[in-house]
Amino acid sequence: MSSIAFLLRRICLVLVLVSVCAGMISCAKKEEAPPAPASAPVPEAADSDGETSATLERGQGAPITKRKIILNHAIALEVKSVGVSLEALQRLAEASGGYVFNSTRAGSEGGPVSGQVGMRVPSGKASGVMKSIRGMGRVESENSTAEDITEEYVDLEARLKNAKSSEARLLGLYNKAGKLSDVLAVEKELTRVRGDIESFEAKKKNWDLLTAMVTIEITLHEPSGGFPSGHRFWSTIKDAFGKSFEVIADSFHALIVFAAAVLPWLAVFGPIVCLLVKWRRKKKREKIEKAGTAEACRGEAEDGTVEKK
């Protein structure tokens, strides 16, 4: 009986040890389990103008990039004074943190005047600037365009990164090159890669500017009256008389030039032509005289024959 009790105690001890070992193994597995994946970041809200903050995902695990959008606005206005409006637009661009890159004015004094202005303003202030521009006069037309260059921009960044990696590798080869021919070959390739890098960086900088700023083209003109002003009326008549006198002067000038070109030839060939004319006239006169003499002789002969009969 005592042996059976001893055996039961040994079996219980073994079961306790097995259960303790199983608990330790399960705890170790829980500690080695990978942490839960973090929640995906929430994309930023889109801006009202310029570069929007909508996101673009290029495959699983790829970085999220802001969309690159180039915005352009064009507006035509009828204003009371083009000169005053040009100055106001210059002040508006500077006050909004932008700049004017083009400004032209056409027209004569007393006549219709027109102008054109091109400006770039920060994307966040484009709506307010457009509202101020609309208030300067009567809007005749308005147009807006948006060009999404996100894919091209991401591709440009990748090409720029690859070019810089190639530059680093070439610099390593350049430092290790021993032969002169190898040095020259690496130097040539390094110059080409650096040229590509400069081109990519310049294009990226230009795209960054165009997406950060909004381009606005403004066309201005003053209202046209039904009848021309007195200044325009008399200036038109004056221009007509002036053009007429210019035509007369040009005609006299052409005649003088023609005479100057012909006179040397007349001095050389004029006497010869005169001698030839006189000689022809003399020959013609002699021919007529001979014909008259022959006719007279023939008449006298006929008269003598008649008398004899």
Confirm whether 12 is domain-assigned. Answer: no
**In this structure, is residue 156 part of a structural domain?**
yes
Same domain? 114 vs 145: yes
Domain boundary among 184, 203, 221: 221
Token pair, residue 29, equals: 């597995």
Q: Are 109 and 211 members of one domain?
A: yes
Please report whether residue 213 resides in a domain.
yes
Report angle CA 112, 116, 119 to the nearest 5 degrees: 155
Domain assignment of residue 74, given as a range: 55-221
State pLDDT tens for residues 141-180: 999 999 898 899 899 999 999 999 988 888 888 888 778 8
Asked if residue 261 belongs to a domain, the reply is: yes
In a domain, 154, yes or no: yes
**For residue 271, is it within any domain?**
no
User: Is the predicted pLDDT of residue 34 greater than 60, yes or no?
Assistant: no
65 and 208: one domain?
Answer: yes
For residues 96 and 125, what is the distance between their CA atoms, to the nearest angstrom?
A: 7
Q: Provide the number of structural domains found in the chain.
A: 2
pLDDT tens column, 251-281: 888 888 888 887 888 787 778 888 888 888 8
The answer on 201 and 88 residing in a single domain is yes
Question: 94 and 118 share a domain?
Answer: yes
**Please, which pLDDT band fits residue 133 given cuts at 50, 70 and 90?**
very high
The residue among 193, 221, 249 that closes a domain is 221
pLDDT surpassing 70 at residue 53: no
| 147/109 same-domain check | yes
Read off the pTM: 0.49
Average pLDDT, the chain: 76
Whether 61 and 134 share a structural domain: yes
Confidence grade of residue 44 (pLDDT, cut at 50, 70, 90): very low
pLDDT of 18 > 70? The answer is no
Claim to verify: residue 169 and residue 244 sit in the same structural domain:
no
Quick one: pLDDT band at residue 282, thresholds 50, 70, 90? Answer: confident
Find the mean pLDDT for residues 123-135.
91
pLDDT of residue 65: 58
Query: What does the pLDDT look like over 76-94, one tens digit per residue?
Result: 999 988 889 999 999 999 9
Whole-angstrom distance, CA of residue 161 vs CA of residue 288:
109
* Residue 137 included in any domain: yes
User: Do both 163 and 250 map to the same domain?
Assistant: no
Residues 225-241 have pLDDT tens digits of 555 555 555 666 777 77
Are residues 216 and 238 located together in one domain of the fold?
Answer: no
Q: Is residue 50 part of a domain?
A: no
Chosen domain end from 159, 192, 221: 221
Same domain? 162 vs 202: yes
* In the chain, % of residues over pLDDT 90: 27
In this structure, are 60 and 200 located in the same domain?
A: yes
**Edge-to-edge, what's the strand order for the sheet holding 213-221?**
99-106, 114-122, 213-221, 69-78, 138-148
pLDDT of amino acid 210: 87
